[in-house]
Amino acid sequence: MRVVAGSVKGIPLKAVPGTSTRPTTDKVKESIFNMIGPFFDGGNALDLFAGSGGLGIEALSRGIDKVIFTDKDRKAIDTIRANLEKTRLTDQAEVYKTDADRALKAIKKNNIQARLMFLDPPYHMEQAYGLMDKAAEMGILTEDSIVVCEHAKEVELQDRTVFFERFKKELYGATIISIYRFQGEEGERFE
């Protein structure tokens, strides 16, 4: 695993020890950023269920101003911090050992808004994909926000949620990447 492009391109990243996480491969990471826009002109991002932090670090390398990383696993938190130090991106990150629901409440309380969200929960936690609508309802995600969901091919996500519409879906082995764009509340667009 390494940073694929941007200001810290080529720096190798540590994986979380053990088998509790599935690191996103460099090929898939590169494909994700080709689909959502290879580079950014600032803004905030959320990397929920962050694992090694590879997706959020890639976003920082490509121009996102700040990323909030969350994970419940202590080994994951230690790995994220080590990867941020290695890439010298610590000043542009906040790292929290907490579950995603609690993280959203804290983000709301701190009046932080994000234009990019990564959702890569353990594959058995299908209900976690509903966090994108929850974050939009709380006002955390901006009206130009994009949500990147990584899920097992057996998990079928909706094309349209309350606030988002899927505009890309790609299969990589046993993994699907679904990318959603904010559309406003369902029905709003047709009034």
Give the pLDDT of the chain (191 residues) as one tens digit per residue.
Answer: 899 999 999 999 999 987 666 677 788 888 899 889 878 889 999 999 999 999 999 999 999 999 999 999 999 999 999 999 999 999 999 999 999 999 999 999 999 999 999 999 987 788 889 999 999 999 999 999 999 999 988 888 999 999 999 999 999 888 899 999 999 776 554 33
Instruction: Tell me if 129 sits within 8 A of 121, measured CB to CB.
Output: yes
- Strands annotated E in 44-101: 44-48, 66-71, 93-97
- Does some domain include residue 23? no
Residues ≥6 apart with Cβ < 8 Å to 73: 16, 20, 21, 97
- Does some domain include residue 17? no
- Phi then psi dihedrals of residue 165, to 5 deg: -130, 135
- Does some domain include residue 8? no
- Does some domain include residue 21? no
Amino acid 191: pLDDT = 37
CATH assignment at residue 80:
3.40.50.150
d(CA 25, CA 40): 21
**Please, where are the H alpha helices in the chain?**
26-36, 54-61, 74-87, 100-109, 131-137
Query: Which structural domain, as residue segments, surrounds residue 74?
Result: 28-155+163-190
The three-class DSSP label of residue 147 is: strand
- Strands annotated E in the chain: 44-48, 66-71, 93-97, 114-119, 141-152, 164-172, 175-182
- Does some domain include residue 6? no
- Does some domain include residue 118? yes
- Does some domain include residue 10? no
In the chain, the number of structural domains is 1
d(CA 11, CA 9): 6
* CB contact burial 55-77 (16+ within 10 A = b; e otherwise): bbbbbbbbebebbbbbbbbeebb
- Does some domain include residue 5? no
For residue 77, give the DSSP letter: H
The token pair at 11 is: 């720096």
